[in-house]
Structure 1
Amino acid sequence: MLEEYDFRNDNVNPDLNMELKPHAQPRPYQEKSLSKMFGNGRARSGIIVLPCGAGKSLVGVSAACRIKKSCLCLATNAVSVDQWAFQFKLWSTIQDDQICRFTSDSKERFRGNAGVVVTTYNMVAFGGKRSEESEKIIEEIRNREWGLLLMDEVHVVPAHMFRKVISLTKSHCKLGLTATLVREDERITDLNFLIGPKLYEANWLDLVKGGFIANVQCAEVWCPMTKEFFSEYLKKENSKKKQALYVMNPNKFRACEFLIRFHEQQRGDKIIVFADNLFALTEYAMKLRKPMIYGATSHVERTKILQAFKCSRDLNTIFLSKISSHAGSRRQEAQRLGRILRAKGKLEDRMAGGKEEYNAFFYSLVSTDTQEMFYSTKRQQFLIDQGYSFKVITSLPPPDSGADLSYHRLDEQLALLGKVLSAGDDAVGLEQLDEDADDIALHKARRIAGSMSAMSGAQGMVYMEYSTGQKKLGLGQKGKPKDPSKRHYLFKRRFG
């Protein structure tokens, strides 16, 4: 049974005066996805699956404009909240005082009887204590009848905390948007009863042929482990540092540096480097002198870096931490590919040479003969299912690059190895972000597992003890003080 909303005959809930602007022209596949949602003056609840960069935001705004009732838009973090608020103002005629944001930093209210509220899943689902202002806003959200509940990145909803949102809010129609309708915990089927069925899913390669998203060259770069790193990788006592060892493989670092230089200097591309491992992310970014964004980066700094990366020609490379919580997650790989899928130029320009050229490149750097090979194959499965193929590259960096790249000399590689081995086990693990947590928009305090050395600023330091060279006492021998009279009287009898 499908849940449908007769929004045209709803005289109880006030109308919202909002239309699409004249320049907002939905593409054919966007129109088709909306036709699956709307029919006979009714709106069906369900899920629309479109690749990243294919215009999910316009589909969501178009749906809200057709229903013309109050809309609650849920995003995963504060940056996405800002982006959705911007998209509503860009594509629709909604007034500034009819749309508001509700995050830990911005607590706004719309004027009038109807409007659009953009907030995060966690702000609605959070059950702990709130400020008085937040409590009033959340009560309004929970008590209001929403015409449309618009959920971005809907694949997160089956998570234990986020699924509370469905029961806490009252809405006539639910629309979920995502690019990756997959989860590693098999909870994805829960969306059928939480929201509704899948209404439409676009074929990625059809959109590439139509010029709506970028034509991507996917490649897997095999980086052999250096002898010293592989020797430590095989040792049993380094089991907790295995990931750090294959991620910090000097050959992988050199391949990464070569690709960054090639795409920056010869192609003038914008580059995003992803890393699961926070230790590696920090080392890479500091060594190459590039900005990085990870869980602890503030919302202001995050926005500033992303804006500079988008608009400035001086900043062409940024380092980002993981998107998903699973190292071998199919969703993680697809979300990463999605960062470069936005259309670049017209299809006619790409076909000018008689052969379609690739205008986006996706490299997966893998240390050979390690666990990473297994994780990489698993991550790629979703993209292979979408019709993408991966080319294997085994000769990066080229032999003639030599000393131009970092960690060319053995002493540099050994110094890096020593840094990895001397770091605490907690310092070289994955960046621990709970999939149910917002980590940007809500938490005033951040709980991080760390070591005392990291808290005192002594991480990377090693305690070493040297022998003075004096003759050691044999078994049964007693050491006598040079001047027993200077000993405390309690010890005189013992050493006498």
Structure 2
Amino acid sequence: MTDTNASEQPEDGTAITAATFRAALEELEEPVATASAVARVLDCSQTDASDALDRLAEAGKLDRQDVGDDPVVWYPREFADFVDPEHVVIFPERRELVVERPEQFTRAQLTQFAHLVDSADEAYIYEIREEDVWWAPYDHIDGLVGTMRDVLSEPAPKLEEWVERQWTRARKFALTTHQDGYTVLEAESPDLMGNVARQKLDADQLHGPISDTESWVVEGKEGAIKRTLYDAGYPVQDQRELEGGAELDIDLGVDLREYQEDWLDRFLDTGAGVLVGPPGSGKTIAAIGAMADIGGETLILAPGRELAGQWHEQLLTHTSLDPEQIGEYHGGEKEIRPVTIATYRTAGMDRHRKLFDERRWGLIVYDEVHHVPAAIYRRSADLQAKHRLGLSATPIREDDKEGEIFTLIGPPIGTDWAKLFEAGFVAEPEVELRYVPWRSEEDRTEYASVEGYERRQVAGTNPAKLDAIRSLLADHADAKTLIFVEWLDQGQEYSDALDIPFISGETRYPERERLFDEFRRGERSRLLVSRVGDEGIDLPNAEIAIVASGLGGSRRQGSQRAGRTMRPSGNSQMYVLATRGTREEEFARNQLRHLAGKGVRLHETDAS
């Protein structure tokens, strides 16, 4: 006998009762659940689930917990005594925090000033690094310290003292504009100018001194100065008054969401920044909104031609710009127009660089901005504009140079991923790490007999993975699916065996675009892709992502591949296949650790 009664039946027909809610908890294997999680299990909208759960709470069937603007969680009333509170342990000397069972509100606050190092079960380990303090999104140190005190379980005076020192250190140098129009490097004191700036920078970067605390900057060397002083532990505040360039009227043809408006307001306050949000959260649309508000000629830099083409389409679709106002400049086309979309590589080449330097841009947009610290892209950061806006879902780098991104382009501006999942703006993917056994003892022996890169390849191409993929495709027969592989031979083998097209860097551009376009329009439901699909490819509504190999890659790669399924509608799932008993297990956990810190649910299973 269930406890269903008339008071539990909502007018909209969403039949969620206390009994069905408990059943949903059992399926989720959790003691509490958000409205979006219940909606996913019971196949209804997040709004309907929230309304129904509110009715159950009002009827005394459920309890709820709400921390500020953090997503609400519901649980059976009898569970109240067993719900464990979060617990924060501080290690001031190591500048580390261990948070047990962190609430989403706490995780959101921690992202303002700390870096997730690891997560295991219910424990999250955070580290507070110098760059986390340097670019914390606060106008004054009091705001940062106030957030820390809200999160920490006990006073931490030594940690606060260190944070205040780092905050002050990040404001020792500034680039300003002299009344005669040239750029000046200013130091807080003569000692800093003489013993730091003058020692680290040479005549190619600084002309003669103007005063004991000011030096005249060589034109075009602003980016190099920022990098050099950043490496010395002194990020530079960019306070230049740059020309805005020619005006350009742009009307935006779409309404921005509340969090996108917040991104835009924070960016316009400073004139520089990096939008950080999950794939599908609308960073491109927010950047187009910035173009409309600034109203100046704009240069958009992208990693490749595919992304340049997608920008072109987005601009024509969502703005009042005419086709003749938009140009592309890369290996395929070379047109400089009021809005120009170029590749990083082309913009950094000496023979093309002058064309970009001669034009005064009101805004430069750096898409997939995590590329900027790389040697072949770095020169593009020297291009000057009144406003600089970077975009990235994952501004992390395995060489730990993400701080350089923010000193070259601007401070991070973002929204907690979990909030966007809960609000239904982005579909939260479920990520399952599935361990695959060896197909035969001979395969296991081959793995044991080789070393290094070859051993990784043997594990990555374990023949049993093909059977695991067939099983997953059968389980999700009607879903739009992407399968990622690392090696070209493996991709071609799977393509032949599964009768699915394989797209790699060797695929000709027209053929690649045709297949991607068919996938976007729903004319094709499955694709095999190499690393070419890791970023910069718009693949909306991909419901399933299967990572067959490539687990030696970066944390950013893991986030990007999961991001192929993060879109504003539907449920999505990512399966990561790792050969049991090999280093792939460790690589997979490292890749997915970053996702766990963003609020994405992770599960581990064994393939049969």
Q: Fold match, TM over 0.5?
A: yes
Given that residues 244 and 280 in structure 1 are in contact (C-alpha distance below 8 angstroms), is that contact kept between their aligned partners in structure 2? no
1:139-218 to structure 2, matched below 5 A, reads 139-167=354-382, 169-198=383-412, 200-218=413-431
Please report how far the alpha carbon of residue 241 of structure 1 lies from its aligned counterpart in structure 2 after TM superposition: 3.0
Please state how far the C-alpha of 1:173 moved relative to its aligned partner.
Answer: 1.3
For 2:497, the equivalent position in structure 1 comes to 287
Partner in structure 1 of residue 251 of structure 2? 19
- Calculate percent identity across the aligned residue pairs: 28
Aligned to 1:46: 273
Amino acid at match of 1:317: R
Unaligned segments of structure 1, at least 5 residues: 346-358, 397-496
Report the Cα offset of residue 279 of structure 1. 2.2
**1:102–1:118 contact (8 Å) kept in structure 2:** yes
The answer on whether the counterparts of 2:245 and 2:359 sit within 8 Å (CA) in structure 1 is no
How far apart are the structure 2 equivalents of 1:262 and 1:121? 41
CA contact (8 A) 1:247 1:280 kept: no
Which residue does the alignment assign to 2:340?
Answer: 117
Q: Secondary structure at the match of 1:189?
A: helix
Deviation of 1:142 (Å): 1.9
| Alignment partner of 1:62 is 2:294 | no
Secondary structure, aligned partner of 1:161: helix
| Runs of 4+ with >4 A deviation | 4-7
On the 8 A contact 1:100/1:108 being kept in 2, the answer is yes
* Deviation for aligned residue 1:75: 0.5
Q: Which residue of 2 aligns with 1:370?
A: 582
Separation in 1 of the partners of 2:397 and 2:607?
34
User: Cα deviation per residue 1:430-452 (whole Å; 9 max; x = unaligned)?
Assistant: xxxxxxxxxxxxxxxxxxxxxxx
**1:40-63 per-position Cα deviation (integer Å, ceiling 9, x unaligned):** xxx521111011111111011011
Q: Would the alpha carbon gap of residues 121 and 247 (structure 1) be closer, same or farther in structure 2, given more than 3 Å must change?
A: same
Q: Name the TM-score, length of structure 1 as normaliser.
A: 0.68
**Is the counterpart of residue 222 in structure 1 residue 396 in structure 2?**
no
Corresponding residue to 1:256 among 452, 469, 477? 469
- Equivalent position SS for 2:391: strand
- Distance in 1 of aligned mates of 2:298 and 2:257: 23
- The amino acid that maps onto 2:593 is Q
AA in 1 matched with 2:428: N
Name the aligned partner's letter for residue 390 of structure 2. G
Match of 1:449 in 2: none
| Structure showing the higher strand proportion among its residues | 2
Instruction: Say if 2:526 is the partner of 1:317.
Output: yes
Paired amino acid for 1:68: G
**Among 23, 26, 35, the residue aligned to 2:265:** 35
Query: Are the counterparts in 2 of residues 244 and 279 from structure 1 also a CA contact under 8 Å?
Result: no
| Contact 2:271 2:386 (8 Å CA) reproduced | no
- 1:331-378 CA deviation, whole Å, 9 max, x = no partner? 000000111001225xxxxxxxxxxxxx10110011000111111111
Question: Which whole-Å CA distance do the structure 2 matches of 1:330 and 1:63 have between them?
Answer: 29
Partner of 2:598: 386
> Displacement, 1:326?
8.1
Which residue of 2 is the match for residue 342 of structure 1?
Answer: 567
CA contact 2:551–2:591 (8 Å) conserved in 1? no
1:6, CA displacement in angstroms?
7.1
**Which has the higher relative contact order, 1 or 2, with Cα contacts under 8 A spaced 6 or more apart?**
1
Distance (whole Å) between structure 1 residues aligned to residue 359 and residue 304 of structure 2: 23
Aligned residue pairs, count? 356
Q: 2:557 aligns with which of 305, 320, 332?
A: 332
Q: CA RMSD in A?
A: 2.0
Distance 1:37 1:229, change over 3 A: same
Distance 1:224 1:391, change over 3 A: same
Question: TM-score normalized by structure 2?
Answer: 0.56
Residue of structure 1 equivalent to 2:26: none
Cα drift, residue 67 of structure 1: 0.7
Contact 1:75 1:120 in 2 (8 A): yes
Query: 1:192 deviation in Å?
Result: 2.9
**CA distance in structure 1 between the aligned counterparts of 2:336 and 2:452, rounded to whole angstroms:** 52
1:305 maps to 2:532: no
Q: Unpaired runs of 5+ in structure 2?
A: 1-173, 175-236, 536-549
Once residues 428 and 404 of structure 2 are traced to their aligned partners in structure 1, the CA distance between those partners, rounded to angstroms, is 33
